[in-house]
């Protein structure tokens, strides 16, 4: 067992910077000196550590006084420290308040001590690290291939249906493309009217069952159905017709007076006559539907017996026909109630939707249909 000599205790005090530098130098020398000098160097290092870290902090909490402790430091023949019992890795304090040796710092210093049997700079020159890296990459690639083949991820039923649906659309893509092009082809001049089966058809209605009509049949059918979208073709070109426009047999565009499609009473309020005749008024009415805007005319009901002209444009009759007036005082523009239902659904599902943008969209549809 080595003890601290009296000569080392009588050494003059040194400055902290100088003592720190000497401590670093002594620690570096430990790794280079022979094991027989380890005991002496370690003793000096521990002494300087005690001087560098005095217990000069004020106590925050009072602790009970501890009894005096006595401990010894021993080293074996190889220069390694010998522990008699396990000690806590905390800084112990003696009765006078001075700090003892920090066990954790001592363990860190001992960890730096070299072992005679250890080869710190062992290096195998025969190893090719590029070959090892290549082999590791090959093993990883094989492992990924095994995982992809053996452990396939099961697809959900929804994903399977989606993939099948996309495949079906892809298979019939050419057929759909040909069908769309065929629907846009302008008919030739030899198409016969589907209603009379005599005259050549010049007008196509997208909402009637009999699509191709001649000018006379078109006038008969769409006088009572002015809200149908119609197309007129001539010389390989087609265009949409507004409700107040028709076509002559010569292929010229002419003006047609069309009334709003309202239901009315079939008997006179004055005399009860059931023979009422519809007469067109000079007043215009604007109908707003989900298909856009329609400019039509009002109409009156003429009784042949009493000669009284009755107006069916009452608030009750307007609401009964599924419309709503834009103003209670002015009924010259009416809104289809379906417009309000769609707008309400838009506001419920898409809060913050613009009312003006919705109206602009209806205007765009009207312009697209020639209205």
Is the pLDDT confidence value at 41 over 50? Answer: yes
Sign of the CA dihedral 356, 358, 364, 365? negative
Stronger pLDDT, 274 or 208, i.e. the higher one: 208
Q: Name, of 68-72, 113-117, 262-266, the range with top average pLDDT.
A: 262-266
Q: Partners of 30 in the beta sheet?
A: none
Tokens 């659904």, located at residue: 345
Q: Kindly indicate the confidence band of residue 89, based on its pLDDT and cuts at 50, 70 and 90.
A: low
Residue 99 has what pLDDT? 47
Read off the pLDDT of each residue in 234-245 and give the average, rounded to a whole number.
Answer: 85
Which of 127-136, 143-152, 250-259 is the least confident region?
A: 143-152
Residue 272 has what pLDDT? 67
Residue 233 has what pLDDT? 85
Q: How many CB atoms lie within 10 A of CB 278?
A: 13
Secondary structure of the chain as H, E, C letters = CCCCCHHHHCCCCCCHHHHHHHHHHHHHHHCCCCHHHHHHHHHHHHHHHHHHCCCCCCCCCCCCCCCCCCCCCEECCCCCEECCCCCCCCCCECCCCCECCCHHHHHHHHHCCCCCCCCCCCCCCCCCHHHHHHHHHHHHHHHHHHHHHHCCCCCCHHHHHHHHHHHHHHHCHHHHHHHHHHHCCCCCCCCECCCCCCCECCEEECCCCCCEECHHHHHHHHCCCCCCCEEEEECCEEEEECCCEEECCCCCEEECCCECCCCCCCCCCCCCCCCEEEEEEEEEEEEEECCEEEEEEEEEEEECCCCCEECCCCHHHHHHCCEEECCCCCCCEEEEHHHHHHHHHHHHHCCCCCHHHHHHHHHHHHHHCCC
Tokens of 64: 């009970």
Residue 335 has what pLDDT? 92
Read off the pLDDT of each residue in 270-297 and give the average, rounded to a whole number.
Answer: 82
The closest alpha carbon to 55, from 14, 9, 103, 94, belongs to 94
Q: Name, of 30-44, 76-90, 297-311, the range with top average pLDDT.
A: 297-311
Write the pLDDT tens digit of every residue in 98-124: 444 445 555 554 554 555 555 544 445
Which of 130-144, 196-210, 227-241 is the least confident region?
A: 130-144
Read off the pLDDT of each residue in 286-294 and give the average, rounded to a whole number.
Answer: 91
In angstroms, rounded to a whole number, what is the distance separating the alpha carbons of residues 262 and 49? 108
Is the pLDDT confidence value at 94 over 60? Answer: no
Cα 197 to Cα 189, 247, 251: the distances in Å are 14, 18, 18
Residue 121 has what pLDDT? 45
Write the pLDDT tens digit of every residue in 132-163: 788 888 888 888 777 665 445 566 888 888 88
Tokens of 240: 């949409």
Q: Name, of 264-273, 282-291, 308-317, the range with top average pLDDT.
A: 282-291
In angstroms, rounded to a whole number, what is the distance separating the alpha carbons of residues 181 and 227? 26
In angstroms, rounded to a whole number, what is the distance separating the alpha carbons of residues 288 and 267? 29
In angstroms, rounded to a whole number, what is the distance separating the alpha carbons of residues 211 and 226? 15
Cα 306 to Cα 65, 268, 280, 301: the distances in Å are 128, 9, 19, 12
Tokens of 354: 């613009």
The percentage of the chain sitting over the pLDDT mark of 90, rounded to a whole number, equals: 12
Which of 3-17, 55-69, 136-150 is the least confident region?
A: 3-17
Is the pLDDT confidence value at 60 over 60? Answer: no
Write the pLDDT tens digit of every residue in 171-203: 999 999 999 988 888 777 788 888 888 888 888
Read off the pLDDT of each residue in 84-111 and give the average, rounded to a whole number.
Answer: 52
In angstroms, rounded to a whole number, what is the distance separating the alpha carbons of residues 95 and 184? 105
Spatial CB neighbours of 90, under 8 Å, sequence gap ≥ 6:
103
Residue 1 has what pLDDT? 45
- Report pTM: 0.52
Q: Partners of 280 in the beta sheet?
A: 299
Is the pLDDT confidence value at 252 over 50? Answer: yes
Q: Kindly indicate the confidence band of residue 168, based on its pLDDT and cuts at 50, 70 and 90.
A: very high
């Amino acid at each position: 067992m080595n003890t601290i000599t009296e000569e080392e205790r009588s050494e003059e005090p040194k400055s902290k910077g100088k003592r720190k530098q000497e401590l670093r130098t002594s620690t570096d020398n430990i790794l280079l000196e022979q094991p027989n000098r380890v005991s002496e160097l370690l003793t000096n290092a521990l002494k300087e550590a005690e001087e560098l870290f005095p217990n000069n902090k004020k106590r925050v909490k009072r602790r009970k006084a501890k009894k005096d402790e006595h401990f010894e430091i021993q080293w074996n023949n190889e220069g390694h420290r010998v522990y008699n019992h396990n000690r806590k890795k905390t800084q112990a304090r003696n009765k006078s308040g001075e700090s003892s040796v920090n066990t954790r710092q001592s363990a860190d210093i001992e960890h730096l001590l070299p072992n005679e049997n250890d080869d710190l700079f062992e290096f195998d020159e025969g190893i090719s690290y590029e070959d090892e890296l290549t082999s590791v990459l090959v093993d990883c690639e094989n492992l990924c291939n095994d995982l992809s083949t053996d452990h396939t991820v099961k697809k959900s039923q929804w994903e399977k249906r989606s993939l099948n649906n996309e495949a079906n659309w892809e298979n019939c893509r050419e057929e759909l493309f040909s069908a769309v092009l065929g629907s846009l082809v302008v008919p030739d001049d030899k198409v016969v009217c589907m209603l009379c089966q005599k005259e050549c058809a010049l007008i196509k209605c997208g909402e009637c069952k009999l699509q191709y009509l001649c000018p006379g049949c078109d006038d008969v059918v769409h006088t009572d159905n002015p809200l149908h979208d119609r197309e007129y073709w001539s010389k390989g070109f087609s265009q949409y017709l507004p409700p107040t426009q028709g076509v002559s047999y010569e292929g010229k565009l002419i003006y047609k007076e069309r009334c709003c499609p309202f239901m009315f009473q079939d008997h006179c309020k004055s005399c009860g006559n059931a023979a009422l005749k519809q007469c067109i008024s000079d007043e215009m009415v604007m109908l707003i539907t989900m298909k856009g805007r329609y400019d039509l005319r009002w109409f009156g009901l003429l009784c042949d017996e009493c000669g009284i002209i009755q107006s069916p444009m009452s608030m009750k009759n307007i609401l009964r026909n599924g419309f709503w007036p834009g103003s209670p005082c002015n009924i010259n523009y009416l809104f289809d109630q379906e417009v309000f239902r769609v707008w309400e659904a838009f506001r419920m599902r898409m809060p913050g939707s613009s009312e003006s943008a919705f109206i602009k969209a209806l205007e765009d549809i009207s312009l697209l249909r020639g209205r």
